[in-house]
Amino acid sequence: MNLRQLEMFQAIVDSGSFTKAGEKLYVSQSAISRQIKILEEELGDRLFMRVKKRVVLTPAGEILTKYSNKLFRDLKDTVMAIAETHELARGQLRIGGVMSVCTYLLPRVLARYKALHPRVDLSVITGSSEKITQQILTNQLDLGVLTLPVTQPELQSIPAIHEEMVVVMPTRHPLAKAKYVRVQDLAPYRLILFERGSVSRRVLDKFFEKGQVIPKVAMEIENVEIIKPLVAIGLGITIIPYQSVLDEVRRGKLHYAKFTPRLFRELGLVYMNSDYIPKALQEMITVFQAVIARSRSRFSNPKATRKNV
């Protein structure tokens, strides 16, 4: 077994195809197939099987994926450790986060970090907490800004923001005259909520359960930026972060009301639980914490007390 074979194996896993793996690595499909066959013979088991023209991992392939991810992560950490001797003169940092934070917090964080470390390459993606978590576990991302808690023992989290959740509705909705609502007030109305199974949805489900309300769920959508226009045209009301709706409220497009008692979700910085944290990541965590300390009021009403459900 050698690193080139593992690189080919990982390329197939990532792309789902021998052909696409060859294109990614600039080698022929036959060369990929030959090296995987040699690897399978050495390991004494098949790594892939074909199901309806798709390449699917076998149990042996699943095991190899777990350890090859760890190997490539260790190799990356080695390179990063060497680069740190040059005081972050070069490097790479990949960040993922939930939409509200990526929209309203990340620009300030990245601007500050780039000013301090201009030669570190930064990349950002958005997605659900579950998607970002999986990409951290598979070494596709270095840091996530996610809804807590995370339960995987391989991950470390630092609580960062209590983000207030508010009920949002069209300006002519029956609840639009209210500044405060109880969860029971939502019972008659169709709701557009985050997808079932997401961490944020579990926060909402717990809120409804505590209030003894069975919500009328009309739609389940991951992206808050998709939810808002659906609410604006009257397809339902929603519960989303306070910060994410302020612009529409100022322009008279939507109305929000605060819950009594207050409803918060907790966001945190999430990364691999390791005895070594690359310096580029350490610096990003420091910058995040400094910017968050100056921005907390943007994620909840300044007069709100932080009572979670």
Q: CB of 256 within 8 A of CB of 224?
A: no
Exposure string over 136-149, b if 16+ CB within 10 A, otherwise e:
bbbbebbbbbbbbe
Q: What is the pLDDT of residues 175-205, one digit of tens each?
A: 998 999 999 999 999 999 998 888 889 999 9
Q: Which residues pair with 258 in a beta bridge?
A: 180
Which is it for the CA torsion 286, 288, 293, 294, positive or negative?
positive
Backbone angles phi, psi at 183, to 5 degrees: -60, -30
Structure tokens belonging to residue 164 = 């207030």
Q: How far apart are CA 196 and CA 126, in angstroms?
A: 18
Q: Cβ contacts of residue 293 below 8 Å, gap of 6+?
A: none
Identify which of 166, 209, 216, 214 has the alpha carbon closest to the alpha carbon of residue 190.
216
Kindly list the structural domains of the chain, giving each domain's residue range(s) and its CATH number in brackets, ordered by start.
3-64 (1.10.10.10), 81-160+267-295 (3.40.190.10), 161-265 (3.40.190.10)
The 10s digit of each residue's pLDDT in 34-71 is 999 998 999 899 999 888 778 889 999 899 999 888 88
Phi, psi at 150, each rounded to 5°: -105, 140
Percent of the chain with pLDDT over 70: 93
3-state helix, strand, coil in the chain (%, to 5): 50, 25, 30
Cis peptide bond upstream of 229, omega within 30: no
Report pLDDT digits (tens) over 87-115: 676 778 999 988 777 777 888 899 999 99
| pTM confidence score | 0.68
- Asked whether the beta carbons of 161 and 296 are under 8 A apart, the reply is yes
133 Cβ contact partners less than 8 Å away, ≥ 6 residues apart: 144, 146, 150, 152, 155, 270
DSSP code of residue 233: T
155 has pLDDT over 90? yes
Q: How far apart are CA 296 and CA 288, in angstroms?
A: 12
| Interior angle at CA 194, CA 191 and CA 197, nearest 5 | 120
The pLDDT of residue 304 is above 50: no
Helices 59-83 and 3-15 sit at what angle, rounded to 10 degrees? 110
